[in-house]
Structure 1
Amino acid sequence: MDFTFTEEQQLFRNSTRRFLEEQYAFEKRAGVLEQAHGFLESHWQNFAELGWLAMPFAEEYDGLGGSPVETMILMEEMGRNLLTSPYLATVVLGGGIVAEAGSEQQKSALLPQVGSGELKLALAFAEQGGGYDLTQIRLRAIKNDSGYLLDGTKTTVFYSVVADKIIVAARTAGQAGEREGVSLFLIDRDAAGLQSRDYRTQDGGSASDLDFKAVQVPEEALLGREGQGFLPLQRVIAKAAVALCAEAVGVMWAISEQSGDFLRTREQFGQKLGSFQALQHRLVDVYMKCQLGQSLVYDVVCALGQQAGEPFGPELLRKVCAAKYQVGLDARSVGQEGIQFHGAMGMMTELPIGHYYKRITAINSTFGDPRFHLRRYRELMIQDQETVA
């Protein structure tokens, strides 16, 4: 595989890093997080003008036709600068589901609005007690003369509070634990009977728990075909997990670079901390973990690009699990080392290191923690062996 960026991709990376460093410097971050939902609407409109929101969508939907590589570049730079925004919720999750499952009419109506910044989306799929298993969907959608009646709860819906519409994974048939019978519905954020408990997450973002109390939606609210929502949901969550791995790699690189700068300037016993060999070795270990994490992300991103539009096979899903597992472990280790390099100062809110570690913790608990993905990797290996046999 060739991991070398094209000239256009390198220019995109440089311009993205320059923009975020100028507009989202750490010194400005505290002011941004003081906003009601942890981000500035002016930043969102800037993202639209830069083409970030339209980047992954096909040109026939006013998108830029970007590949998973561009999404990886953008997410890594967001990680470097600790950006908080509804980008993952709206573009990767919400827009991704519409692109995967929606009809041509739905895609033509919704995706251009997402790309222009006019429409924010949220994806409600997780439920209490379901863990990271996507089949554990209990929220019911009962068909009636007026469309569908939704009843149940969803948890940890990212940036639901600012979404114009919410995509809900509901069960129109079958029982929890089954892949068949999962359907997707697009509903208004202010739909009658929908109750929301909004809260801020530890990393500065926003999420909500949603209660659906006999929420009536019309038949046209169904996204795609009834009972065929699981595979699109699985694909989009896998892509979002890879996007978070790329963000985690950006966080790791930022910690590595800032720790190196700190050790080269901070003095103890009349010497620079960076002159102590033990610390040099630990800093090299951090650098190697950053390189390993980036290599794993490059590998799975290339695989995503090669299988665009095709069903996800066990090999690709294993690559996703491997990346989420290893990057999760190494990101946590790098974050802990960064705090130790800075000593007691590493825990101060005035320094970014502690904030980076909070983001790592949040990433590790989203779309599956390392332990879940290790177990899932083993299950996929067994399934693959049984298929061959």
Structure 2
Amino acid sequence: MSFVLNEEETMLRDGAQQFLEEQAPVTALRALRDSGDPVGFSRDLWAAMAEMGWCGILVGEDHGGVDMGCAAAGLVLEQIGRNLAASPFLSTAVLGASAFNLAGTDAQKAAWLPKIAAGETVIALALDERARHNPSHITTRAAKDGNGFRLTGAKRYAVNGAGADLLIVAARTEDERINLFLVSPEAAGVTRTSRRTLDSHVPADITFEDVKLDGDALLSGAEDSEAAYRHLLDIGRAAQAAEALGVGQKAFDLTLDYIREREQFGAPIGSFQGMQHRAAHLYGELELARSLVRRALTTLDTQPAQAPLWCAAAKAKATAVSRLAAAEGIQMYGGVGMTDEYDIGLYYKRAQAAGEFLGDDAFNAGEVARMSGY
């Protein structure tokens, strides 16, 4: 398995880097935060991403996409992380598109995948029901009701839930299996409560009180609904790991720039041996995380049956390393690193918040141990 980017991947990465540095710098996140934006992302940026073709990276050409695979999506997410670009790319172009690819019927795919590829919709995955991620703890119920269902339950911190046009809800059916359902956030019985997290994103808590669903709300195209659900989470973990890698790498880059310029005792503090040792350690950790993230994303594209272990390992490592890089950055900046004047604090906040999505480093390290027989 090659960890070297090919020409097409290199062009995608470089194009994403240039586009996001110009169109979605950290100042854009600050503007969204300071204005109290109700959804926490820019729909203009989302439309521009669609024009770049990114929204269709996991959508087949027959539905208007470019079908480049998870490894390509990871390259975009790494640049999103580097710029702290607030967008529904992960929730919609990755998780939303993958949910339809894995579990949608032909009719459902035809109805929604073109909208995803065109950037015409925002999707949120309504999954977790507790403060900590637990994919097996699903108490939301979808009871049969004639030809349809009645949905009852509650979800916490649905990413991009405040601005979503469509919810994909994990719920148990009468056979106790977990299935995915399409739910309009405007449907009777659905209540959204926006949350503003420390990283200036706006997820939502969502309650479902006897929500009536048609039969075609069930994503029923998979032979095994729970296997599709688990695989969707694997894709999400690897994708979030790619973003975390970008967050950690940029935090490291900012720190290197600072310690090269900041002088103390007549010399740049980066010339002090203690600082050099800490920077060298971070560099090695970031490269280890990069290798795991690349392995996980490539395995999803080429050997999906082997992906669960690598996705959990990548999520565990990238989460831990991004948090370490941002925390070390604040330490090396000194007291000013805690102020809003410098961007390093924003990277620290994003590393902390994003690390919780689909399981933190401890959860995913536990999954690696379990799958390895410990």
Please indicate, yes or no, whether the TM-score normalized by the shorter chain is above 0.5. yes
Q: Who is 2:13 aligned against?
A: 13
| 1:360 has 2:360 as partner | no
Q: Who is 1:28 aligned against?
A: 28
1:341 to 332, 337, 355: 332
What is the 5 A alignment of 1:1-389? 1-33=1-33, 34=35, 35-128=37-130, 131-145=132-146, 147-175=148-176, 181-224=177-220, 228-308=224-304, 312=305, 315-382=306-373
SS of aligned partner of 1:167? strand
Deviations 1:160-197 (A, max 9, x none): 2211111111111245xxxxx22221121100011111
Letter in 1 for 2:335: A
2 CA distance for matches of 1:132 and 1:271? 46
1 CA distance for matches of 2:172 and 2:224? 10
CA contact (8 A) 1:89 1:158 kept: yes
CA contact (8 A) 1:169 1:229 kept: no
Check 1:114–1:375 CA distance in 2 against 1; reply closer, same or farther (3 A cut): same
2 CA distance for matches of 1:270 and 1:286? 25
Listed as ranges, the gaps of 5+ residues in structure 1 are 176-180, 384-389
Percentage identity across aligned positions? 33
CA contact (8 A) 1:138 1:171 kept: yes
CA contact (8 A) 1:182 1:226 kept: no
CA contact (8 A) 1:183 1:225 kept: no
2 CA distance for matches of 1:165 and 1:29? 24
Give 1:329 shift. Answer: 2.0
TM-score by length of 1: 0.91
Deviations 1:111-132 (A, max 9, x none): 0011111121111121137x43
1 CA distance for matches of 2:170 and 2:55? 23
Letter in 2 for 1:355: L
CA contact (8 A) 1:265 1:272 kept: yes
2 CA distance for matches of 1:253 and 1:182? 36
- Root-mean-square deviation (Å): 1.7
The count of aligned residue pairs is 372
Letter in 1 for 2:61: E
2 CA distance for matches of 1:145 and 1:266? 69
Deviations 1:56-88 (A, max 9, x none): 111111110112111110010011101111111
CA contact (8 A) 1:173 1:182 kept: no
2 CA distance for matches of 1:213 and 1:19? 42
CA contact (8 A) 1:262 1:342 kept: yes
Give 1:241 shift. Answer: 0.7
Stretches of 4+ aligned residues off by more than 3 angstroms? 225-228
Give 1:225 shift. Answer: 5.2
